[in-house]
Structure 1
């Protein structure tokens, strides 16, 4: 039975941080799709990893919460980009589920996986902006259990694995017990953090705090209908101008590459739809180490150890490279790489000034999704010796 205030939930099923003191280094063979060709690449997994799974309630009372997720995505990504594990920088993967929507399969518990763990920030943004709301039933125990069973949380003892679930319906709804879900999380070394959308004490009374306590997680309450506050700075216009130049350093390969480049521009527009400052936050993310496009961009792909110019198909090269020799293609890609590095450094320098400027202003995001996630994330990550720059 629904309460008058229709259910909210996100489950930000977040994070597998491969901990600082993890010493394992292993070879991993991945197939990187470039255009319509598969390029086998070999990479060392010797960096810590942050895995964030967002489980978003898309019932019709959740428009505000979903808006916060869309508007604050790039702020969260940027904050995670400043994380350090000793002298190492963690990688980031994000997955998204939606649930609590009558349009979803009832037999599966009104939930579905929108995107599995991915490093493709444009795909993640596209997935968020594709979500729409409708009435439905929100089952916390079911969505937590599904996330635990479907997602690859890793097996290393030193990994930091977190679930964030947010909503305003009773935490005990549904046939799957949240206590059983908590036991499963505990068995898999996953911490469940709960975010109640509403009054702090009301959330306690309907078991949201209990859900967090059972796995030693954080319980938090937010106003999910509060609009995100974006603070403008004197550096915004310059950063956005650099974004236009940054986009021109990408060299799309094959038909998939062309579609990905179009998606990149589309997600620029989506970020700008909130306001200029949000578009700036996305630009900062695009200039960071977390924005990786080796599946379609030749500049990023060339850095992969398994990349070979011999595997490139003439028919799938962009127009400016058709008919060029291997040495000419290499020279072209290298010039794009140099340009990108210079632009990234300029954006980083301007963003440093921008962050200092924003720090002097009143930041009205204390009661937001972003703040709740990062507060719990940092507190639990620091137990594994993670630090923030």
Structure 2
């Protein structure tokens, strides 16, 4: 009987530890050897941050879309510093939906998945830049409900799962009640953050604030037409030059290789067309752990434990490597890996100086409205999952 009580007590302790720690902070230090011996534990899936962006693309939202294009890399760069407790750094997955656009089928509620959860930052950028605005009806409840049903949110309770929905029409329109949609989100551990494009009180009175509060999310009102003021720094040209060198360290392979390498270049150009500062921020993202292209780049692919160059068909390699031996190819990859690491480090060092310069010269309120809204919510909600930010 005494043994039964001891086992029950240890099991209860295990449940308590598992329930109060997040972000895979359930390290071996937190679980006693006795617990490990008596309770069979299953390691949860790798920690992932899942962010779904639901953007209103009706006629009045050009400013919002432009802010999203300009500030995508600010959001990515913020996540590049996040830690799960004192251990792992989580993976970032972003999904994108547009709603309220009359070019989308009415039977779909004028809602369209632009890209499902993805870690491919170039593809996410491509899809974001493809968005255009057109008049339509905005059904926030249905947009939230659709994203919950369509996307694979996973079952790991430690993952940070967030929806950001932005728009400017009443939140209670459409056949699906926003209260039902947010209730479903809360049940699945998804936090809904609402961003009203307009006056704070107007948004609150049209249920945007209520839509956020029902899941413990943030309600923020922004001026979506406000022009983002980018501060030029003496380090911008240095980072842009380093980015060009960084691109030369990529070694394409497989069926996706050439097209993905071309996409990388195109998205550089898209960022540069907006403003030089946007290209700089993108280059900083490309120097981070979150910019990983193992599906088409041999250098990133070689970091995987199961990577074996001998398993890649010669015809899947760049022409300059097809006549090389496996050892020669491995040596080539290693050279590019070292070169990339050095360039990325130089970008990071230049960016530290750039950020210090900006902090010294930036006027209050000059940051992007959408960027401020999202980062504020991310940091606050990340703390509930034991997330910390460092550099």
TM-score, with length taken from structure 2 = 0.87
SS in 2 for 1:61: helix
Is this contact kept in 2: 1:100–1:111, CA < 8 A? yes
Encode CA deviations 1:219-265: one digit per residue, 9 max, x unaligned: 11000011122111111111111111100000011342011011000
* d(CA) in 2 for partners of 1:65, 1:128: 11
Q: Is the 8 A contact 1:167 1:197 kept in 2?
A: yes
Q: Which residue of 2 aligns with 1:353?
A: 353
Structure with the higher fraction of residues in strand conformation: 1
In the alignment, is the contact (CA less than 8 A) between 2:82 and 2:388 conserved in 1? yes
| Residues 102, 136 of structure 1: 8 Å contact kept | yes
The residue that corresponds to 1:271 in the other structure is 271
* Aligned equivalent of 1:385: 386
Q: Secondary structure at the match of 1:353?
A: helix
Question: Secondary structure of 1:195's match?
Answer: strand
Partner of 1:12: none
Structure 2 unmatched runs, 5+: 1-20, 29-42
Alignment of 1:275-286 (within 5 A): 275-286=275-286
RMSD: 1.8
* Residue in 2 that maps onto 1:50: 49
Q: Which residue of 1 aligns with 2:61?
A: 62
- Cα gap change, 1:124 to 1:62, in 2 (>3 Å): same
Offset of 1:24 from its aligned partner? 8.9
Alpha-carbon distance between aligned partners in 1 of 2:124 and 2:197, rounded to the nearest angstrom: 23
1:85 counterpart residue number: 84
**Corresponding residue number in structure 1 for 2:40:** none
Which protein is richer in helix relative to its size? 2
- Given the superposition, is the C-alpha separation of residues 306 and 283 from structure 1 closer, same or farther in structure 2, using an over 3 Å criterion? same
Q: Is the 8 A contact 2:55 2:167 kept in 1?
A: no
Say if 2:57 and 2:133, in contact at 8 Å, map to a contact too: yes
CA radius of gyration, larger in = 2
TM-score by length of 1: 0.87
How many Å separate the matches in 2 of 1:100 and 1:72? Answer: 22
Q: How many residues were matched structurally? A: 354
Aligned residue for 2:33?
none
2:59 counterpart SS class: coil
Tell me which residue corresponds to 1:35. none
Q: In the TM superposition, what is the alpha-carbon distance from 1:48 to its structure 2 partner? A: 2.6
**Structure 1 stretch 53-62 or stretch 277-286: which is displaced more?**
53-62
Equivalent pair of 1:72/1:228 in contact (CA under 8 Å): no
Cα deviation per residue 1:15-52 (whole Å; 9 max; x = unaligned)? Answer: xxx94245499xxxxxxxxxxxxxxxxxx987532111
Q: 3-state SS of the aligned residue for 1:152? A: coil
Matched with 2:151 is: 151
